[in-house]
Chain A
């Protein structure tokens, strides 16, 4: 990791943040006592009186020698204590200055006062003032943790390649020694499971505990790898503190504690050089002194100690020490928000190498220390605004969407379910009619259409992801795509809206309004940084979710062509403004299309009705027709349903809302935790089903099923197994998948002329019989023309009438024209205006 070194001056090399031994502690106390006077509270909630101020003079002894020499850094001569060999970089993320043990950055209720430890550590029982942290014990505990912690069930990607049965963090230390990146990320939940008390201390007193951890790690590290050379000392970066998950739940009690929140970056500032140490020089005698910046303030020495001139010291910027800092604004992620409120934002400060790690638009998990600073904007005023400014000092960033470009990110949107919730869900899953229950809970305001709802339900669950990329076949699509077509006003849009509202990563777009660009991705120039940014469109945004596309038929051809890739390969290729990339778009598509003639024509095939290319249609697993069934019983139930919908009592409404929440969780749980696989019987059943489908057609001399049908059958069966929370796909799943597919085909692929289900309507755009008929007409026409003998040109109308007279079946103008076109393709004739010429 290259640290940004754009700030003037070398970074400080003192060892302030490592209270290594009592000895060093005391020295530090002398060094830095100058900063205590203004005593701005770091913790407004608590008291901050500084009992440990022994030396009240503003500038006690000059800081240990002058500049920390470069020798400090890697000289093998300096091996004594671990902290002396390698530069300990200051950690501004833990507070602008640290005076560890004697500082009261955290005070407990008054009772803790008794436990005050002086900075002269007198023994192991001493604790850091205001906390219950004993440096020695804490260090020991953490070292034990590092040496012993094993997490055999870990599935974090960061641990990839590590032996799960060996102490995890020791392996990581080894990695550090090899890679040379002196940062150790520690998962707080590991600490918690290892030592709950240590975890509590870490969360409550991060400012004191983390330096102790640093110290422990470094001791351990240099014991193990005495020869390794690091840029600076290893820094411990804890993450995944369970204290707080949601920005909204931050409250005054969290101040100065370690928290983890999730959110989206909305703004990042320019790099801010923050002064860490001010360098003053006397203009009379050139005596120089250094003053550490304490919480944003410099105590400017009024008198030169060398020549006793007053007000002679001037700040020399070039020789002061600065560190990098960046302000980042983070907004609550939309999923965490209660309805009807605006998202909250929080200010986050990133320091040193964390600067420029995130970009606006990134979704991140932040672990850091929550701070509150009182506002005293005008020092001349005695009464202050009684408001604190809050921010978070980042310790660790974790992008939650960064893996979207690379692979699966199931753990990122892992929802936490409470025990009881899981129990409720499992109970529900064990009910024999869970499938029907769930499908009826789906969009209860929409009447009937049971099979469509079941189809959508299976879509919500999705199939199992299979990765065959090693054998060269790439990923198999696990998402189920569904197309709804039908008369206007059959609540298709409503169904889409419902689904869009149900799934966390849903996108809703209308074919009329969306362009190819809006669906895929576009390049935007960031107004602030002038940097080109790839903005993702609806399809990419609904990765792992559902993209609902209304008015599918109104979409322009170019836009639709984008979908070809998405719906089978599940990726999006972009070549724009010099950016060439392939984004994952593992999205299920739920589309709705209206018939071209505004009313569904039952005499026509699906393709003819909606005028969509068959190449696209064949990518839909299920195509449903939402037609208005016209029978009395249906009407009656519909009327009853609608009237009830309008005048249902409050409680019933309440009940349904509960259902929606349960449904949401149920789906989320199944999607995360259930990965069903085919068992032997099910595989057999699938094979049989496929062979059967093929057989139907072969009897009539046509292909009635394609491998795509088999694939979607598998997906549907897997989804159905997920509905049951079953890890195995069994025969019943296959049966239901078959039934559903048959139903959908019956609706959409029935040849209106013959009444047979004909898959080729969807795969080639024309039914087999229609193709046959077309050929017959063309042949009859050809024969007729031939029988007429040598006539180079014929009247169009004449020919049409003749053909009609000759043929037994009724010949429409369309059919005639089609026949002409077919013959023209054979180069047999050519049509110019109203005349037909033979060639």
Chain B
């Protein structure tokens, strides 16, 4: 493990050296990017870079290279900065050209009138950790980072902890890690509040507005938020992209001092200051100690955030995939058995749940998202069953969120992000989620009562999300549509009031006297290695390619015509849509990348089983989804 990596410890030095060599030839910028990209390509090198997700901010060296796994929550207006400027040495009167790129603050003695000043443009993204990231994903990525000692002063010392402990309060894990000595839990709390303001505020969302709202999409989230300065390829980034950003950390305290202690008389005269509301200042220039700045050198869009899978599409990924494909079928069988237990012995529901978990909007045809597979699990037992079910789902997928649809939450919660024009930022909502997040809607919590206007809006937003896989963000004067890709699972007693692609009434085969105990036993019976296999399986199955041969296309067509011949009402175009999705997911779940005749027949078969079940208890609600 080489420790003298200047490109990690002093990336600015590298940048400046290149700038100095360039003689203001603009190509140097591309060279810098090339260089860092090249360094990161080297085997394992990206794991040497400390991660903001894992290492607390105060252990990171300012101006060192760090990485951050995050979601682009908001995009601020572009800003102009001094790309190149000249400083005058007060003693020698010598002019020196300096590079302002990747920095927040200039050196002393800037000659504002120099004719060599070059103004350049950059944009700031407000990034938050991936919302709803499962504790296990955080944990594993942390451990894998700990394997190689990061080149910071911070040495993680949490190997003493065992997995078992994590189960009950995994959420707080990253905080515990911050303590240099593994102290007893009780002592840690008070200390944390003093030293780690960004994390302590999230525990009580009510008081975060009082000082600084970090604007996480989900309540109760924690972790660092970051202002990422983006220099290149601005158009390639979109809101809600999940990225792994490599950049230079900037926590210059000057950033905090600026903005405070302002002379009121100056306010009157300086036009630039009077126009920013305090809210806007707070949102756009929070103290760097809470919201560090990151000057992006390189960003990698993440297809998934499962740390168990190789993240980059390199050779070892394809090797990994092909090696895993061999055992795909067996893992599937095990997972199915596991889910069957969890779903109280209902094999069909387990099959559908499995298909749901690997579904993905793989493309859009005009307005129609293809591949979405919203599952409505009706007939769920009450009394915290759904809660336990969510915990099990959470153990399997890297990103998830359970929305308890109680009347109160529906009326009071903000689901749709809204633009706050006073602070000039996008106030996040619970539906601002990363791709492939599992959204667990618990309709069993909904009771009778009155939905107010915001409740109706929330329900409408959920309906739109399910039907069109899009969320209409509220920009006050107009709405703006953002496509999304979220796996929605609705658990309900009867048929859900929300639309869904497929409804499966749960038919429990066993009725355990103590549900909690039953589920806990099932959960405990699984080894971590086993669960990890499931996790890899679910993430991997989603990424496989898929196609249909002409021959099978023909067979499907024939089949459809035949089915319609007998009873045109029995199969509609809608049903064909669904069966095609089921067939796709079924094939992928078995690791098959083309649809076989068998696969189609199987899909048809399980859909028939499901339909016969729903027909038994068809409700009168005949509204079109």
Contacts and interface: CB of A to CB of B under 8 A. Distances in A.
Nearest to B457: A513
A340 B483 contact: yes
B272 A647 contact: no
Nearest to A267: B421
A374 B258 CA distance: 14
Given A334-B480, A494-B368, A647-B548, A639 B113 contact: no
Chain B interface size, under 10 / 10 to 19 / 20 to 34 / 35 or more:
35 or more
B574 A45 contact: no
Nearest to B268: A275
A334 B426 CA distance: 15
Nearest to A657: B366
Contacts, number: 243
B238 A340 contact: yes
B576 A494 contact: no
Interface in A442-482: 443-445, 447
A317 to B, nearest CB: 10
B13 interface: no
Given A39-B112, A489-B572, A388 B105 contact: no
A382 interface: yes
Interface string A610-643: 0000000000000000001010100110111011
A130 to B, nearest CB: 11
A267 B478 CA distance: 14
B254 A45 contact: no
A516 interface: no
Contact of B117 (A44, A361, A501): A44
Interface stretch (B118-126, B148-156, B351-359, B513-521): B118-126
A251 interface: yes
A591 interface: no
A337 B370 CA distance: 25
B173 interface: no
A286 interface: no
A22 B238 CA distance: 55
B82 interface: yes
B624 A488 contact: yes
Contacts of B81: 386-388
Given A383-B110, A635-B560, A642-B573, A488 B254 contact: no
A653 B573 contact: no
Contacts of A447: 573
A455 B47 CA distance: 59
Q: Which DSSP category, helix, strand, loop or mixed, fits chain B's interface?
A: mixed
Interface string B243-268: 00000000000110111011000101
Contact of B114 (A47, A110, A389): A47
A116 interface: no
A67 interface: no
Contacts of A255: 80, 119
A381 interface: yes
A347 B280 CA distance: 13
A558 interface: no
Contacts of B608: none
Interface in A274-322: 274-275, 293, 296-298
Nearest to A335: B478
B94 interface: no
Contact of A639 (B85, B556, B624): B556
B79 interface: yes
A493 B115 contact: no
Contacts of B561: 632, 635-636, 639
A373 B368 CA distance: 46
A638 B573 contact: yes
A244 interface: no
A372 B105 contact: no
Contacts of B121: 251-252
Contact of A390 (B80, B82, B100, B468): B80
Interface residues of A, number: 100
Contacts of A191: none
Interface in B580-608: 580-581, 584
A349 interface: yes
B363 interface: yes
Contact of B112 (A48, A107, A488, A636): A48
Contacts of B477: 264, 266, 331, 360-361
Nearest to A38: B112
Interface in B88-111: 100, 103-110
A382 B105 contact: no
Contacts of A491: 573
Interface in B242-298: 254-255, 257-259, 261-262, 266, 268-275
B159 interface: no
B518 to A, nearest CB: 39
Given A377-B259, A639-B576, A388 B565 contact: no
Most B C-beta atoms less than 10 A away, residue of A384, A494, A639? A639
A378 B573 contact: no
A594 interface: yes
Contacts of A642: 573, 576-577, 580
B560 A47 contact: no
A296 B270 contact: yes
Contacts of A250: 78
A49 B112 CA distance: 9
Contacts of A252: 80, 119-121
Contact of B556 (A251, A374, A643): A643
B113 A489 contact: no
A272 interface: yes
B268 to A, nearest CB: 8
Given A269-B275, A643-B548, A501 B105 contact: no
Interface string B413-432: 00000010110101000000
B623 interface: yes
A327 B275 contact: yes
Interface in A192-220: none
A648 B547 CA distance: 9
Interface string B209-245: 0000000000000000000000000010111100000
A382 B456 CA distance: 54
B259 to A, nearest CB: 6
Nearest to B482: A340
B476 interface: yes
Given A275-B269, A387-B81, A445 B366 contact: yes
A646 B79 contact: no
A345 interface: yes
A346 interface: yes
A343 B480 contact: yes
B334 interface: no
Contacts of B237: 341
A643 B580 contact: yes
A346 B476 CA distance: 17
B239 A341 contact: yes
Contact of A296 (B271, B553, B623, B624): B271
Interface in A329-363: 329, 331, 334, 337-347, 349, 360-361
A645 to B, nearest CB: 6
27 contacts: A41-B117, A44-B112, A46-B117, A47-B113, A264-B478, A293-B269, A297-B269, A337-B480, A342-B480, A373-B272, A378-B258, A381-B254, A381-B257, A383-B105, A384-B105, A387-B80, A490-B573, A498-B366, A510-B460, A636-B561, A643-B556, A645-B368, A646-B548, A647-B546, A647-B548, A656-B366, A660-B366
Given A293-B269, A298-B269, A381-B257, 7 more contacts: A377-B258, A377-B259, A389-B272, A493-B467, A501-B366, A639-B561, A660-B366
Pairs of residues from A and B, 7 with the lowest C-beta to C-beta distance, nearest first:
A47-B115, A340-B238, A488-B624, A598-B622, A639-B560, A252-B119, A639-B557
Interface of A: 39-41, 44-50, 107, 110, 250-252, 255, 264, 266-267, 269, 272, 274-275, 293, 296-298, 325, 327, 329, 331, 334, 337-347, 349, 360-361, 372-375, 377-379, 381-391, 443-445, 447, 488-494, 497-498, 501, 510, 513, 594, 598, 628, 630, 632, 635-636, 638-640, 642-648, 653, 656, 660
